């Protein structure tokens, strides 16, 4: 077993396509972990496509970031600013969609708080030089609080993120609204309204008003779509009744699409926060919003071609601000070119389905959209291998443990894919 001998680390904030990279001066390891905050508010979920945004004060030079953003704004570069609120801009890569920094604007006038903007880095964008299996880095970030959890109605991702940094440090505080100015959720409670959730979950989509349609839209509304989850559910129920085979992502009991916890590095970078949440849908179950719903691309190659078309050259205006970045030759990551929100993950060998960013869904039962999604809680997180051996490994084990405890607490059965995998493993042992 090696021990940490490094006295300093260099921290990078870098986007998925590596067009933008910022580094800190060497930081003493004694200054770690950086205190981070997770915001679960509706605005942050629609800005990232994740169930929360996560940021920490950037311990590097602010003027470098400011100058780069100004230069790109003037020169048509790809580091883009999006106005989230009067006091806050998001800086993101317009080529790959990764959010990098929150730019907190100085207070108007003189006095305390006046001066230069301050920068918070999205923690998902952070990496340390030399990290990986064999390196024994101290935790770089530790979440000190979760804010605006009340916006989620159902607790969102809190149940599996509350203890995400493991033991050995102060427990993160949880606020229903703003820090120090709203009701605090007591330690030990994953979410105070668990009982109230049951109704929404049991009601399901079939009995709900708008046929189980769930809005799918980004913060700036440049992407405004509908996931026709109720229609999908009814269709797959019928498929099963006729003895047909269900797609791998459909729950054979509820006929809802699977929801996943994902540890993939690329998803972390694309959304700016660790542990991404996807659900899965056939493109035929996605529509444009508004009166003229028909005509959304039915397969991933049509979607790619439609998105590549330029305004005035046959681009469907209903595609709005949709853009994509090919993170591998066969992968398209769709995002909003104006506000940076992650929307879809598409891969060429699954032409009729996409991964859908759960954070963009507006489901009446809450941020986890349990009336439309069958969550895969417990068991191994998808792409967990990307976290192994890095400073984020503590988070991997803590999240897997909490997700399993949450499953048991909620009384959910083991996920069907996990049962199938465990049975296959058992058969292999014999
Ligand atoms: Zn980029
Ligand atoms: Zn927020
Ligand atoms: Zn947008």
Model pLDDT, residue 193: 54
Distance 96 CA to ligand 1 centre (A): 4
From CA 353, how far away is CA 350, in angstroms rounded?
Answer: 6
Contact predicate 409/162, CB 8 Å: no
Task: Give the ligand whose atoms come closest to the C-alpha of residue 149.
Answer: 2
Tell me the chain's radius of gyration from C-alpha atoms: 22
| Spatial CB neighbours of 147, under 8 Å, sequence gap ≥ 6 | 37, 38, 39, 40, 41, 175, 177, 178, 179
DSSP state of 144: E
H-helix segments, 17-167: 42-48, 62-75, 158-161
| CA proximity to 51, closest of 318, 422, 356, 378 | 356
Distance 316 CA to ligand 2 centre (A): 31
Task: Give the ligand whose atoms come closest to the C-alpha of residue 216.
Answer: 3
Distance 120 CA to ligand 2 centre (A): 13
Distance 128 CA to ligand 1 centre (A): 18
Distance 147 CA to ligand 2 centre (A): 8
Which domains occur in the chain, in start order? 206-429 (2.170.150.70)
Distance 245 CA to ligand 2 centre (A): 41
Beta bridge partners of 104: 88, 118
Distance 107 CA to ligand 1 centre (A): 30
Distance 223 CA to ligand 2 centre (A): 19
Distance 222 CA to ligand 2 centre (A): 19
Task: Give the ligand whose atoms come closest to the C-alpha of residue 335.
Answer: 3
Distance 331 CA to ligand 3 centre (A): 21
Task: Give the ligand whose atoms come closest to the C-alpha of residue 340.
Answer: 3
Beta bridge partners of 56: 121
Distance 117 CA to ligand 3 centre (A): 23
Model pLDDT, residue 191: 64
Model pLDDT, residue 111: 59
Angle, alpha carbons 10-55-119 (nearest 5°): 70
* Cα atoms in the 13 Å half-sphere on the side-chain side of 241: 8
Model pLDDT, residue 114: 63
Distance 268 CA to ligand 1 centre (A): 13
DSSP state of 407: H
Distance 275 CA to ligand 1 centre (A): 19
Distance 341 CA to ligand 3 centre (A): 6
Distance 47 CA to ligand 2 centre (A): 9
Task: Give the ligand whose atoms come closest to the C-alpha of residue 14.
Answer: 1
Model pLDDT, residue 231: 94
Distance 6 CA to ligand 2 centre (A): 35
Distance 325 CA to ligand 3 centre (A): 15
Sign of CA dihedral 395, 397, 401, 404: positive
Distance 2 CA to ligand 3 centre (A): 46
Task: Give the ligand whose atoms come closest to the C-alpha of residue 99.
Answer: 1
* Cα atoms in the 13 Å half-sphere on the side-chain side of 122: 31
Distance 133 CA to ligand 3 centre (A): 36
Distance 401 CA to ligand 1 centre (A): 33
Task: Give the ligand whose atoms come closest to the C-alpha of residue 273.
Answer: 2
DSSP calls for 263-317: --HHHHHHHSSSSEEEEEEEGGGEEESSS------SSHHHHHHHHHSPTTTT--G
Q: Is-cis flag, bond preceding 33, omega within 30? A: yes
pLDDT tens series, the chain, 430 aa:
344 567 899 999 999 999 999 999 999 999 999 999 999 999 999 999 999 999 999 999 999 999 999 999 999 999 999 999 999 999 999 999 999 999 999 877 655 556 889 999 999 999 998 887 777 788 899 999 999 998 998 899 999 999 899 887 888 999 999 999 998 988 877 665 544 445 544 544 444 445 789 999 999 999 999 999 999 999 999 999 999 999 999 999 999 999 999 999 999 999 999 999 999 999 999 999 988 999 999 999 999 999 999 988 889 999 999 999 999 999 999 999 999 999 999 999 999 999 999 999 999 889 999 889 999 888 889 999 999 999 999 999 999 999 999 888 888 888 888 888 888 888 887 6
From CA 91, how far away is CA 98, in angstroms rounded?
Answer: 9
């Amino acid at each position: 077993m090696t021990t940490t001998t490094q006295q300093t680390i260099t921290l990078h904030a870098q986007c998925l396509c590596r067009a933008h990279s910022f580094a800190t001066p060497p930081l003493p390891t004694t200054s770690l972990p950086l205190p981070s905050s997770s915001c679960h508010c509706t605005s942050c979920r629609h800005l990232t496509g994740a169930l929360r945004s996560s940021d920490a004060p950037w311990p590097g030079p602010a003027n470098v970031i400011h100058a780069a953003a100004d230069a790109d704004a003037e020169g048509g570069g790809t580091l883009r600013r999006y106005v989230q609120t009067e006091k806050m801009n998001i800086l993101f890569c317009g080529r790959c969609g990764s959010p990098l920094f929150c730019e907190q604007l100085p207070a108007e006038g003189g006095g305390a708080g006046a001066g230069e903007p301050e920068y918070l880095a999205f923690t998902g964008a952070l990496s340390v030089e030399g990290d990986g299996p064999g390196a024994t880095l101290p935790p770089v970030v530790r979440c000190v609080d979760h804010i605006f959890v009340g916006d989620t109605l159902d607790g969102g991702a809190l149940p599996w993120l509350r203890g995400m940094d493991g033991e050995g440090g102060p427990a993160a505080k949880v606020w229903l609204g703003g820090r120090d100015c709203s009701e605090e959720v007591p330690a030990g409670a994953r979410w105070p309204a668990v009982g109230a959730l049951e109704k929404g979950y049991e009601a399901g989509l079939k009995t709900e008003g708008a046929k189980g349609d769930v809005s799918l839209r980004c913060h700036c509304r440049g992407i405004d779509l509908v996931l026709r989850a109720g229609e999908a559910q009814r269709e797959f129920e019928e498929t099963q009744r006729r003895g047909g085979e269900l797609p791998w992502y459909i729950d054979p009991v509820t006929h809802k699409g699977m929801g996943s916890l994902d540890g993939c590095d690329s998803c972390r970078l694309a959304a700016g926060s660790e542990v991404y949440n996807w659900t899965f849908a056939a493109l035929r179950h996605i529509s444009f919003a508004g009166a003229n719903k028909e005509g959304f691309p039915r397969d991933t190659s049509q979607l790619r071609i439609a998105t590549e078309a330029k305004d005035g050259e046959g681009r469907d205006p209903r595609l709005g601000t949709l853009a994509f970045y090919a993170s591998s030759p066969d992968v398209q990551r769709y995002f909003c070119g104006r506000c940076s929100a992650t929307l879809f993950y598409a891969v060429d060998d699954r032409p009729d389905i996409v991964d859908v960013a759960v954070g963009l869904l507006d489901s009446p039962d809450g941020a986890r959209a349990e009336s439309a999604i069958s969550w895969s809680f417990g068991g191994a997180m998808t792409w967990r291998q990307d976290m192994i051996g890095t400073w984020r490994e503590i988070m991997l084990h803590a999240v897997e443990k909490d997700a399993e405890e949450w499953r048991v607490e909620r009384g959910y059965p083991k996920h069907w894919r996990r049962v199938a995998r465990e049975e296959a493993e058992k058969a292999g042992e014999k």
